[in-house]
Amino acid sequence: MANTNYNYSEEHVRTLDWIEHMRMRPGMYIGKLGDGSAPDDGIYVLVKEVVDNSIDEYMMGYGKKIDISIDKNAVTVRDYGRGIPLGKVIDCVSVMNTGAKYDTAAFQKSVGLNGVGTKAVNALSNYFKVQAFREGKTKLAEFEKGILRKDNALQKTDEKDGTLVNFIPDSVIFKNFHFIPEYLDNLLWNYVYLNAGLTINFNGQKYYSQHGLLDLLKRKTNEEELRYPIIQIKGEDIEVALTHANEYSEEYYSFVNGQYTTQGGTHLAAFREGIVKTVREFYKKDFDSADVRQAIVAAIAIRVQEPVFESQTKTKLGSINMAPDGKIAVRSFVVDFLKKELDEFLHRNPQTADALLKRILQSERERKEIAGIKKLANERAKKANLHNKKLRDCRFHYGEDKHEKSNDSTLFITEGDSASGSITKARNVETQAVFSLKGKPLNVFGLTKKVVYENEEFNLLQHALNIEDGIEGLRYNKIVVATDADVDGLHIRLLLLTFFLQFFPDVVKNGHLYILQTPLFRVRNKKETIYCYSETEKQNAIKKLGGKPEITRFKGLGEISPDEFAGFINENIRLDPVIVGKEQTIQHTLEYYMGKNTPQRQIFIIDHLRVEKDVVEEIELAVEE
C-alpha cells in the first residue's frame, strides 16, 4: 500500500533553474549519458552540439575551415564564421531559448532550432569557455558547470572572425568517460561528406570530401565486394548514393540538414519505399521488397526547413513536410525524386541495371530456398516459449518505447546457467535482459543463412533480438557478449562475433555489439573492496590498501555473486565496443580468424594476446572443430 502519512505540501513543490534541470535530467537534453563506449553516448552529443553551430555557419556561406582538438578530454572547437554577436555571447550559451536560429533569414535549414545545444554543453561541463571574434573585437566568457565565472570586457584582436569554444565534460555526470577515436572519426567524416568543400582539422588530421555521399559509400564499402559502381544522384535539397554488395543486410546512412539520423525517420522510410517502387516499375516485375533491398548500401541526405525530430538528440526525423507551409510532403518528395532520377540513371546505364537485376534475382533464389525451413524455425521459436526459457526480458525496448530508458536497453548473451543466473539476479529489470546460451555456438563461417534457421540457438537468438528481417525492429540498443575470460569463453566470444559479422553485419556497423569486461581480481581489506580488470590495476589496489589485503582471482562469471555483479553491469559497467575497421573487409577478417590459416593465426595470437603456448594450441583446436 502507498504511504498515506507522507505530508505533501507547498514546500515540496520546487522550481528548478535551467542549470539545475539540465544537471538533474540530462537525458532530456542529450539522450543517455554513458562513458563513451557507445557512439551515441553523451560526450559525443556535447561535441556535436558545438560543431553543429560551426557547420550551420558554413552552410550559410561563412567559414570553410573548422579546427577541432581533444587533449586529455578537453575539447576545443574553432570556426571561422561570422562569430556570435559580441553583445549576445553570454546569452547564447547561458540563457535558455536564446539563439539566432528562430530567424530563418539567418539560418534557413539549420539543425539546431531550439536554442538548447550549447547551453546543455555549458551546464554539463566542469569548464566551459566561449570566445567570439568579430570585426577586430573579441568577447570571452568562462563558466563552471553552467555558472558564469569570468565575464571579460571587450578587447581588440587580430584574430579572424569566428567562434572558439573550449569545454571539459563533467566527470561526475559522465563517470569514467573516454573518447573512442573511431567514433570521433566517423562523426567528422560525416560532416565533410555532407558539406563538400569544408575542411575539418582534428588533432593533426585533415578531413575533406569533394564528392559528398559518393565518398561516404566508398569509405564504408570495399570496391571488390560491390556488385556495381556506386550510383550518386543529386537534386535540390536532396542527394542519394547507393549500391549493392554481398552481405545479408540493409545498410543505410541517413541525414537531415547535416544531422546523422541514426534511427532514420520519415525520409529514410520514403527512401526505402522509393527504391522498391522504382525497381519494380523499371523491370516491370513485382519483386519482393526484401529481395530488392537485401545487401543494399545506401545514403540519403535532405534539407528541410524547420525539421521536427523525435527528441532533442535529433536521431530520428518526425517531420511529415519539407517546408513549414505543408505544401511539400517528405514522402512524395523522396519517392518522386527516385522514380524519376534513378529510373533515368538505370536507362542510361544498362550494365549497372543488369548487375542490379542479377543481385535481386540472387536474393530471390536464396529467400525461396530457405522459405520452408524458415517457417518451421519460426514455429519452433514459438513452441520454445522464448521469453520464459531462453530469455529473461526487460521492460523497455529499443525502438519500441519512446521513453528515454529504451536507449539503455541491453541484452547480455551469457554462457551456462551459473553466469546467466548471477547476471539475472543482479540486472536492472527495466533495461537489462539476459539470453542464456546452451553449449558452444556453431562456427558459421562460410555457411549460408539457412543455418540460422536450422540451428536452434541462433534461431532463438535472432528472434529474441527481432533482427530476422533487419535491424529496424532491434529490441535492444546494446548486445553484450558476456563470457568467461578463459579459453572456452574467448572461443564462444569469437563464434558469436562470427555469427553477427556473417549474417547481421549491420548490428556491428551500427554500434550495437559489445564485449563485457569483468574483473579478474578482487582486492580487499576490512575497510574497502577494489575490483581490478588487469594486473596493473591489481598492483595499484594493493598499494592503495597497504598491508596484506585479501586477493581473489576470478576464473569465471559464475564465481561472482549477484551482489558483486550488480556493481559491474550497472552504473560502473565497462564495455568494449566491437568496431569494424576499414583496413580489411568483413569477409577477409572472417577468413583470417576463422578460416584454415592456422600458422598465421598462431603468430597473431602469440603477438597480441601474450598467452602461453598450450593455450594457443587449445584455441586452435577449438577453432578447427
Per-position DSSP letters for 30-89, written without gaps between them: HS----SSSTTSHHHHHHHHHHHHHHHHHHTT--SEEEEEEETTEEEEEE-SS---GGGH
The string of pLDDT tens digits covering residues 486-511 is: 778 888 998 999 999 989 988 998 88
DSSP state of 193: H
CA 580 from chain centre, in angstroms, equals 12
Does the pLDDT of residue 101 top 60, yes or no? no
Q: What is the pLDDT of residue 469?
A: 83
Does the pLDDT of residue 463 top 70, yes or no? yes
Side chain identity, residue 268: L
Residue 541 corresponds to which cell in the numbers above? 589496489
Q: What is the pLDDT of residue 484?
A: 81
Q: What is the pLDDT of residue 325?
A: 62
Does the pLDDT of residue 620 top 60, yes or no? no
The string of pLDDT tens digits covering residues 593-607 is: 777 766 777 777 667
State the pairing for strand pair 296-302/238-244.
Answer: antiparallel
Contact 198, 66 (CB under 8 A): yes
Contact 79, 160 (CB under 8 A): no
Q: What is the pLDDT of residue 68?
A: 97
What distance in Å separates the CA atoms of residue 522 and residue 172, rounded to the nearest whole number? 24
pLDDT band for 1, please (50, 70, 90 cuts).
Answer: very low
Does the pLDDT of residue 516 top 70, yes or no? yes
Q: Which residue intervals of the chain bear CATH 3.40.50.670?
A: 374-518+563-594
Name the more confident of 84 and 415: 84
Cβ-proximal residues to 511 (8 Å cutoff; 6+ apart), any chain: 38, 39, 40, 183, 577, 579
CATH number of 18-208: 3.30.565.10
Does the pLDDT of residue 536 top 80, yes or no? yes
When the candidates are 3.40.50.2300, 3.40.50.261, 3.30.465.10, 3.40.50.670, the CATH number that belongs to 374-518+563-594 is 3.40.50.670
The sign of the torsion formed by the CA atoms of 56, 61, 62, 66 equals positive
> Which whole number is the average pLDDT over 335-342?
95
Window from 122-136, 214-228, 246-260, 559-573 with minimum mean pLDDT: 559-573
Q: What is the pLDDT of residue 106?
A: 41
Q: What is the pLDDT of residue 480?
A: 95
Does the pLDDT of residue 414 top 80, yes or no? yes
Does the pLDDT of residue 310 top 80, yes or no? no
pLDDT band for 114, please (50, 70, 90 cuts).
Answer: very low
Contact 176, 26 (CB under 8 A): no
> Which whole number is the average pLDDT over 26-46?
86
Q: What is the pLDDT of residue 109?
A: 53
> Which whole number is the average pLDDT over 17-27?
82
Side chain identity, residue 82: R
Q: What is the pLDDT of residue 611?
A: 47
> Which whole number is the average pLDDT over 460-488?
88
The string of pLDDT tens digits covering residues 575-599 is: 999 988 765 667 777 776 777 766 7
Mean pLDDT of the chain: 85
Which residue in the block uniquely carries the three cell numbers 555457411?
Answer: 447
Q: What angle do CA 258, 55, 274 make, to 5 degrees?
A: 10
Q: Kindly calculate the radius of gyration of the chain based on its CA atoms and give it in whole angstroms.
A: 26
Q: Which residue intervals of the chain bear CATH 3.30.565.10?
A: 18-208
pLDDT band for 613, please (50, 70, 90 cuts).
Answer: very low
pLDDT band for 304, please (50, 70, 90 cuts).
Answer: confident
CATH number of 213-369: 3.30.230.10
Q: What is the pLDDT of residue 224?
A: 83
Name the more confident of 308 and 583: 308
Cβ-proximal residues to 352 (8 Å cutoff; 6+ apart), any chain: 228, 229, 231, 345, 346
Q: What is the pLDDT of residue 262?
A: 80
3-state secondary structure 556-623: CHHHCCHHHHHHHHCCCCCEEECCCCCCCCHHHHHHHHHCCCHHHHHHHHHHHHCCCHHHHHHHHHHH
> Which whole number is the average pLDDT over 437-443?
87
Q: What is the pLDDT of residue 343?
A: 96
Q: What is the pLDDT of residue 97?
A: 57
Window from 67-81, 97-111, 139-153, 462-476 with minimum mean pLDDT: 97-111
Burial class (CB in 10 A: 0-12, 13-18, 19+), 575: buried
The string of pLDDT tens digits covering residues 247-289 is: 888 889 999 888 888 877 888 999 999 999 999 999 999 999 9
Does the pLDDT of residue 71 top 70, yes or no? yes
Window from 45-59, 148-162, 300-314, 450-464 with minimum mean pLDDT: 300-314
State the pairing for strand pair 238-244/231-235.
Answer: antiparallel
Does the pLDDT of residue 323 top 70, yes or no? no
Does the pLDDT of residue 28 top 50, yes or no? yes
Does the pLDDT of residue 123 top 70, yes or no? yes
N-terminal to C-terminal alpha carbon distance within the chain:
58
3-state secondary structure 343-397: HHHHHHCHHHHHHHHHHHHHHHHHHHHCHHHHHHHHHHHHHCCCCCCCEECCCCC
Window from 350-354, 385-389, 434-438, 495-499 with minimum mean pLDDT: 385-389
Q: What is the pLDDT of residue 405?
A: 76
Residue 255's SS3 state is strand
H/E element, 128: strand 125-134
DSSP state of 507: H
Q: What is the pLDDT of residue 381?
A: 76
- Give φ, ψ of 321 to 5 degrees: -115, 155
DSSP state of 261: -
pLDDT band for 167, please (50, 70, 90 cuts).
Answer: very high
What distance in Å separates the CA atoms of residue 68 and residue 191, rounded to the nearest whole number? 13
Q: For the beta carbon of residue 228, count every other beta carbon within 10 angstroms.
A: 17
> Which whole number is the average pLDDT over 139-155?
94
> Which whole number is the average pLDDT over 76-98?
88
Q: What percent of the chain has pLDDT over 70?
A: 86
Does the pLDDT of residue 570 top 90, yes or no? no
Q: What is the pLDDT of residue 584?
A: 62
